A and B are shown apart, each in its own frame.
Chain A
Amino acid sequence: MDHDLYLSRIAEFVRLLSQEGLSVGTKEAEDACRALELTGFTERESVKAVLRTICAKSQAECSAFDRLFDAFFVSSEQKLANLKKAMEDQQELEKRRAEAAEELKKHSFLNADDDFIGGYAALPEEEKDRLRKFINKFRDNAERNPKLYEGFIRSVFMKSIMEQQLMMEDADLGVQETDPDLGLLFRDISQINDAEMPRAVAMIQRISRQINGELSARKNKSSSAGALDIKRTIRKGLETGGSLIRLKYKRKRPKHRRLVLLCDVSGSMIQFSEFALRFIKSMSDVSESSRVFLFSEETAEVDPFALQDMDQFVSYVRRTGLYGKGTDLGSALDRICAVKPPVLDQKTTLLIISDAKTVRLEDAQKSVIRAASLAGEIIWMNPIPQRKWEHLRSVRTMSVLCKMVPCSTLSELARECRKLALG
């Protein structure tokens, strides 16, 4: 292949990497071309190694890079095979869309547009059967009174289509998991199974140690840098005949933060709450003087000694009688607001650990507003991935009322706990 063409292909490839979220730009493209001029273009693996060295900046980026490189720089045979497969896939998709359009046309009240038809066509056959049964059940009603039923039936269809799309996104994320530790760090917490728990816990301990280390380093630094403490320096200088040999610096007064944790321990949330509490309890500065409340349908304040052994957390929750129940955030917040002497004040940060799925949503909103007026700040750690928030009414509503942060993976959870600890 022509030399200039190669270079232009590399520029295109760097642009593709950038579009896929890798932090590359003109500098990388220039470096890649310079390096390839030097090492040559003849061996595919060598070109790959050169470009990876320059363009990928982490293990996760290396995985993404390899995937994109293999897709971009393909042999002519592979290209032909890919093209053939893409055409077959496209034909299959068109066929399914046509069938779906034909089927949905029968139900005029569904107002099926292109997106709707496309979404329905992608559904697995068993889901389509379920929807067919559902629509048959309500067809007479819908035809008799379309205004009353069309919105309802359409919403059931849309829910199925949306869930399918989210599942496809999750499956796509799973494909990229090549390194076990890295995978665990970036995987949805709800997907971490029992066998992986010890590794996850070890990872949390390691990250917490690091955060504690950074905290102590900050404290140490404040004693040897910053503004000079004239009084202490002169006093110390008296030991050396008035010469100010040893300088003393002003110490920053430690900022005491009071934290109130409200953890959702209903069935789906218990694992996430356990992880979040492990992080928070192992960060000495944050956990000091913090109070922890657990809630599902009812609320209970946790005895601080009960959380000393986090391995016993699930059994502790079972003993409190909160495990396996529904979620009532509103009453939990009301309970905290009503505690005497008051738990919340302007020096307190209220940390809510919940997926925002609750009964009596309107009441819960009012309670959040009330708690926000009492507490200095509310931070909401939500285990639902941020890309799904817009589809969930409760999350959309609550995220407007307080600072909601996505914590769907251990990596995100660690990042937020770090922010919390380091301020």
Chain B
Amino acid sequence: MIIDPKELKQKLDEAGYIYDETLITTLVVSLALGRPLLIEGAAGVGKTEVAKVMAYALGRELVRLQCYEGLDESKSIYEWNYQKQLLSIQVGMGQSQPQSKTELTKSVFSEEYLLERPLLKSIRSEKPVVLLIDEIDKADEEFEAFLLEMLSELQLTIPEIGTVKAKSTPFVVLTSNRTRPLSEALRRRCAYLFINYPDIEKEVAIIKAKMPNVSDRLALAVAQAVHDLRENDNIMKKPSIAETLDWIAALEALGVPDLTPEAAGLTAGFILKNEEDIAQLDTGCGCAGHTHADGTPCEGHVHADGTPCEGHDGHHCHHHHN
């Protein structure tokens, strides 16, 4: 399928998804080549969202397969409705003229008894769909092997029926948080995109797109603070975009017009998700830990305990602008 980049941009704008040129090019190319798109990146950078907005942009149904440890073909491709088969056989046995063995086998292994799972559903659909295989890194390596046939040949094999060829070509999006390396074979079949945490400008744009009522000042302060937190090596769990939005929502709910150290302290649980990270926020300096672009140490902020910062040099800071 060939899609005009301008048209795609317009659709993503309508869906409120903030994009860059690399993303647009990648989506256009993978659609044009009919290749699955493998998206990697830290948790919460908007990987899953890409599939959702593509479903919207292409006007297709989104079929989602959430991966987890132990996911196998019976949960992802198909399963025979064993209980229904068994009942059918028992009913058949009670009839005066029971079916022959061949007929019986043929009838119980027909589509009537087939439980369709997301992968099979996506290729048997008359209309093309967007298939999201979410967090593929959580599934086992064996499951990757099941996927290979589908991704490269767009077909699946069911031993009792034979090969099921795709009626339509789904746009496949696979996401991974990189908790384990994916196989070379899988990677080779996919187009690849890495999504990093957004820079401050992009994060402000995301905040404004998702929460238009937030003031520019608060959006910028929060984006700057979140950026500093992500840069801080001492913070173990880096905040995601979703957490940025939660934080802003919490600040809005408190009616806080600006990101003061007090407000940051009160709402820290929305942006930092473990005790050690929050302790860092309490004991560290204010936002003045960084140096400005011109090399001068920052002096414009306030420590968490309320004392003004006299400037630091050479290390990042995880606190927030006053």
Contact = CB atoms under 8 A, between A and B. Distances in A.
Interface of A: 23, 31, 34-35, 38-39, 45-46, 49-50, 52-54, 56-59, 61-62, 180, 195-196, 198-199, 202, 206-207, 210, 213-214, 216-218, 220-221, 225, 243-245, 247
B192 A199 contact: no
B157 interface: no
Given A23-B187, A59-B194, A217 B140 contact: yes
B190 A206 contact: no
Contacts of A218: 140
Contacts of B140: 214, 217-218
Contacts of B102: none
Given A38-B2, A62-B194, A49 B22 contact: yes
Interface of B: 2, 5, 21-22, 25-26, 28-30, 32-33, 35, 38, 40, 69-70, 72, 82-83, 86, 90, 138, 140, 178-181, 184, 187-188, 190-194, 233-234, 236
Interface centre among B38, B190, B191 (most CB of A within 10 A): B191
Contact of A221 (B70, B179, B188): B70
A198 B234 contact: yes
Nearest to A206: B179
Contacts of B33: 31, 34-35, 54
Contacts of A58: 40, 181, 187, 192
Contacts of A180: 233
B86 A245 contact: yes
A210 B180 contact: yes
B22 to A, nearest CB: 5
Contacts of B193: 53
B233 A57 contact: no
B190 A57 contact: yes
Contacts of A202: 236
B191 A225 contact: no
A35 B86 CA distance: 51
Given A202-B236, A214-B180, 10 more contacts: A23-B187, A49-B21, A53-B26, A54-B35, A57-B188, A58-B40, A59-B178, A199-B233, A206-B179, A243-B90
B82 A34 contact: no
Given A221-B70, A245-B83, A53 B188 contact: no
Contact of B184 (A23, A50, A195): A23
B86 A196 contact: no
A221 B75 CA distance: 12
Nearest to A46: B25
A134 to B, nearest CB: 40
Contacts of B72: 221, 225
Given A23-B187, A210-B179, A31 B35 contact: yes
22 contacts: A31-B33, A31-B35, A39-B28, A46-B25, A54-B33, A56-B192, A57-B184, A57-B192, A58-B181, A59-B40, A59-B178, A62-B194, A180-B233, A195-B233, A199-B236, A210-B180, A214-B140, A217-B69, A218-B140, A220-B70, A245-B86, A247-B82
Nearest to A27: B188
Contact of A214 (B69, B178, B191): B69
